[in-house]
Amino acid sequence: MKIDHQKIEKDNVIEEYLLGKLPEDESLLFEEHMLYCADCREKCIKLERIIEAGGELAAERSELHNKKTRTLFLPVFLRVAAVLLIVCSIALLIFRIQQNKTPQNLYASDTVSAGNSNQSAETLVADTVARGPLPERNINPAGNDLLAESFIPSPVFESAVHDLYRSSGIENPVPADSSVVDFMKPVTFSWETRGNGNILFILRTNKGLIVRKEQGKPPLTFAPEKKGLYYWQLIADDEVVHTGRLLVK
Amino acid sequence: MFKRPVSFQMKEADNFDALLKGIRKGDSAIRKAITEHIGIILRTWCKRNKNEITWMMRKGKIETEFSLHTRVTDDLYSVLKDDKSEIKNYKHYQDFIIEKGNQYLADGYASFNKALIGASSLPWQLLEKTMWKYAVKWLADRNIFNREAIRELHYGALEVLFEKIKQQSLQFNQSSELKSYYFKILEFKWKEFIREKGKSHRYTDKIPELFYSTDESGAHPLTDKIREYIKQLEPDEQYILKAYYFFEKKLTEIAEDLELSPENCRVIKHRALRKLYDMIPANYSS
């Protein structure tokens, strides 16, 4: 029998020798080979010390011998399924949050771009009633709002509607409160004033968004481009003097 | 890959005659090669014959396994230097090593046994350290991995061994006999532990102080370095090396533990060894 480097490498002779697994005749041959081969001797010494050091470490921490427990002990396909489930759940959650936004919230989000990011919808509408119009903003006729949402009364404007004529000077506002008009049909807004003060006319959606804003004398005629509940306001000297309600079907 | 300097390469000694010639010329590279070679042979031979405790006294000083090969090398050298030496081939060379090694081990062991009976702390510390590794392995095979439990069983067995040796002046002809005796006691302790599992055993309170090693490692300096290198490896690599070389698990079993294929496991083991080979400095001392 002959021993050469090819055999030593292929049959893992050094390891087998050190672990006492090499047959005796091969052990003797390998030992003789080592006497003349510095490389094999070096590898043998290194591996011998590695085995010894590994043994000492293992003995030091015997508990490491326990079967390795992974933090997530799942087969690959279950791990993939778990990731997909998490992604779907997050997507569903985002969708539900979008759906569950209240009209007030939508209003609030609309007005964020107008510069009042920290105010609630209620405060903003009340502000509008008290101080006058919000910055003008055109409503998108195609609108992404749900139709039903467009008919939800605004509590703030509703209270203003019941305060009709709270300021003197405006008489016979037309259309009358809670008038119902047809979609895309022109509506004529008119009123009478005792004085010659400038009156600002504002037509708002139920969410407070300005649809039309006119400074002029009555009558004013518009055709609302979207179905819904509208509020119209007349403002004199920065004070809301009349708030009317209009239903467009 | 590590390459020896040309002056240390033994190209000239590719047969026994060339080796003898080098020795007689006083070639230091050849002397180093022989010292390394005898070290490997003797250590493997001791392990194969389960002579885990190598103990020698020379000029009143204790020597451990690391000096066994240098002592045999000295003897061999003085014989080989003589032109009329009877060592003519590798077979003679090998017989000489084993014969001398055997003789030194037997002498050393006799003095070790004597020191054990005399309750000297050093041999007991050596015994504690050597047997600890075997106890860990033996108990791991019986599914006991808890370090505290292993400590209790190991020191419990040592305590009994200590009393027996001291009272009966037990003599063992070689360390493998002493080892067998220790394992008989350990087995008894283990059975007792299994039977009374749940009850608290506190053997450690009664262990004589001389069992505790003062020297933390006591291992070869290169082994100490490699322990640090192993700690730098990936967890899977460390696990494979320990499980394969120390606990003698099969690669297929390790692969199951790590949820890997046996082939992957083999590759990781190979990679870990390659890393370690590269980490060991070129001027290591065997």
Q: Which two tokens stand for residue B55?
A: 């103990």
Question: CA-CA distances (angstroms) from residue B97 to A9, A46, A119?
Answer: 27, 22, 94
List the single best residue of A25, A50, A78 to mutate versus B (max B Cβ within 10 A). A50
CB B51 within 8 A of CB B176: yes
Which string of DSSP letters, residue by residue, matches A36-87?
Answer: H-HHHHHHHHHHHHHHHHHHHHHHHTGGGGSPP--SS---HHHHHHHHHHHH
Q: Mean pLDDT, consecutive 10-residue segments, chain B of 286 residues?
A: 46 73 82 87 81 62 65 86 82 89 80 82 82 84 80 89 83 81 91 72 48 53 82 88 84 87 91 89 64
Q: Which two tokens stand for residue B90?
A: 């590798």
Average pLDDT over residues A23-40: 89
Contact A55 B273 (CB under 8 A): no
pLDDT at B272: 92
User: Tell me: the pLDDT tens digits for A193-206?
Assistant: 776 667 888 888 88
Contact A46 B14 (CB under 8 A): no
User: Tell me: the pLDDT tens digits for A124-182?
Assistant: 444 444 444 444 444 444 444 456 777 888 877 877 776 555 455 677 788 887 788 88
Question: Does the pLDDT of residue A69 top 70, yes or no?
Answer: no
Strands B55-58 and B61-64: antiparallel
Quote the DSSP letter at residue A151. G
Position A102 confidence tier, pLDDT thresholds 50, 70, 90: very low
Q: How far apart are the first and last CA of chain B?
A: 18
Contact B4 A38 (CB under 8 A): yes
Question: Does the pLDDT of residue A110 top 80, yes or no?
Answer: no
pLDDT at B184: 92
Chain B residue with minimal CA distance to A12? B270
CB B44 within 8 A of CB A49: no
Task: Give the minimum alpha-carbon distance from B161 to chain A in angstroms, rounded to a whole number.
Answer: 21
Residue from the list A34, A46, A62 with its beta carbon closest to the beta carbon of B37: A34
pLDDT at B56: 62
CB B16 within 8 A of CB B30: no
Average pLDDT over residues A58-79: 57
Question: CA-CA distances (angstroms) from residue A67 to A64, A106, B88, B203, B232?
Answer: 8, 56, 53, 28, 21
Task: Give the minimum alpha-carbon distance from B167 to chain A in angstroms, rounded to a whole number.
Answer: 31
CB B251 within 8 A of CB B265: yes
What's the predicted TM-score (pTM) here? 0.57
Size of interface A-B (CB pairs under 8 A): 132
List the single best residue of B4, B32, B227 to mutate versus A (max A Cβ within 10 A). B227
Strands A220-222 and A210-215: unpaired
The residue with tokens 């087969």 is A75
- Residues A220/A221/A227/A232 CA torsion (nearest 10 deg): 10
